[in-house]
Structure 1
Amino acid sequence: MFKPTNKRILERPVSAQPNVPDGVYDGLLESVEIKEMESRFHPDGKREVVNFKVNVKLLDDETETLYVSPTFTWSLKGKFIKQLDDLESLPEPGDELDLDRLTGMKVTVVVENTEKDGQTYSNIVKMTKRKAAVIPKPPVPTKRAIKPVEVDEDNFFDDDDQNLNLELEDLAEGKE
Structure 2
Amino acid sequence: MFKSTNKRILERPISTFPLVPDGVYNGQLESVEIKELESSFHPNGKRTAVNFKINIKLPDDEVETLYVSPTYTWSMKGKLIKQLDDLEALPEPGESLDLDRLEGMNVTVYVENTEKDGQTYSNIVKMTKRKPAEVPRPPMPRKRANKPVEVDIDSFFGDDDI
* TM-score, structure 1 as length reference: 0.78
**1:155 corresponds to which residue?**
none
1:148: how far off?
5.5
Which one has a larger percent helix, Structure 1 or Structure 2? 1
Superposition CA RMSD, Å: 1.6
1:40: how far off?
1.1
**2:145 corresponds to which residue?**
144
5+ unaligned residues in a row in structure 2: which ranges? Answer: 151-162
Cα distance between partner residues in 2 of 1:78 and 1:109: 19
1:68-101 deviation line (CA, Å, top 9, x unaligned): 0000001111100111111111111111111111
- The range that moved more, 65-74 or 10-19, is 10-19
**2:106 corresponds to which residue?**
106
Please list every run of at least 4 consecutive aligned residues from structure 1 whose deviation after the TM superposition is greater than 3 angstroms.
4-8
Cα distance between partner residues in 2 of 1:24 and 1:91: 27
1:42: how far off?
0.8
Cα distance between partner residues in 2 of 1:89 and 1:8: 48
**1:52 corresponds to which residue?**
52
Q: Percent identity?
A: 74
Cα distance between partner residues in 2 of 1:31 and 1:78: 21
- The range that moved more, 106-115 or 130-139, is 130-139
1:24-51 deviation line (CA, Å, top 9, x unaligned): 1110000011111111111111100111
**2:135 corresponds to which residue?**
135
Cα distance between partner residues in 2 of 1:99 and 1:137: 34
Matched residues, number: 149
**1:86 corresponds to which residue?**
86
**1:165 corresponds to which residue?**
none
**Residue type matched to 2:145 in 1?**
R
1:7: how far off?
4.0
5+ unaligned residues in a row in structure 1: which ranges? Answer: 150-176
